């Protein structure tokens, strides 16, 4: 099982980025998968999670109406579209999964066992 995140970078406040997470060793037709982030000096927190078998999503409050999680099953890829970015969104973003968990809410409220490497998002003028 591998997860490979990419797409981070430097963006100005109000800008947008799309993160990608390419997965291998499993298919996006059953487990929940999600995005988490860790800002400097802070705990890792959930951003958004997706149930890949029924496409039900869960968002943390700060992500609602700004971020969108989606998947392309043919490409084994999960995306996080981030709009109206703020300086407080600066963090390392990780994709993660638990192959035994199908609930997006459950994954976002757990400590997933499988993680990709992070991708740094910096929001600054």
* Per-residue pLDDT at 88: 97
Q: What is the pLDDT of residue 48?
A: 98
37-52 confidence digits (pLDDT tens): 999 999 999 999 999 9
What local confidence, expressed as pLDDT, does residue 78 receive?
98
Residue 100: its pLDDT value, please?
94
CA–CA distances in Å: residue 52 to residues 14, 62, 78, 90, 119: 29, 22, 10, 27, 22
What residues in the chain have per-residue pLDDT under 50?
none
């Amino acid at each position: 099982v591998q997860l490979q995140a990419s797409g981070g970078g430097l963006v100005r406040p109000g800008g947008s980025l799309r993160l990608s997470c390419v997965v291998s060793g499993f298919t996006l037709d059953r487990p929940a998968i999600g995005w988490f982030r860790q800002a400097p000096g802070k705990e890792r927190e959930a951003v958004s999670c997706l149930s890949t078998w029924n496409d039900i999503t869960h968002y943390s409050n700060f992500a609602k109406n700004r971020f969108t999680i989606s998947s392309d099953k043919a490409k084994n890829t999960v995306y996080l579209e981030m709009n109206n970015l703020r300086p407080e969104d600066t963090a390392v973003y990780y994709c993660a999964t638990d192959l035994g968990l199908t609930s997006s809410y459950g994954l976002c409220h757990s400590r997933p066992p499988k993680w990709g490497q992070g991708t740094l998002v910096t929001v600054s003028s």
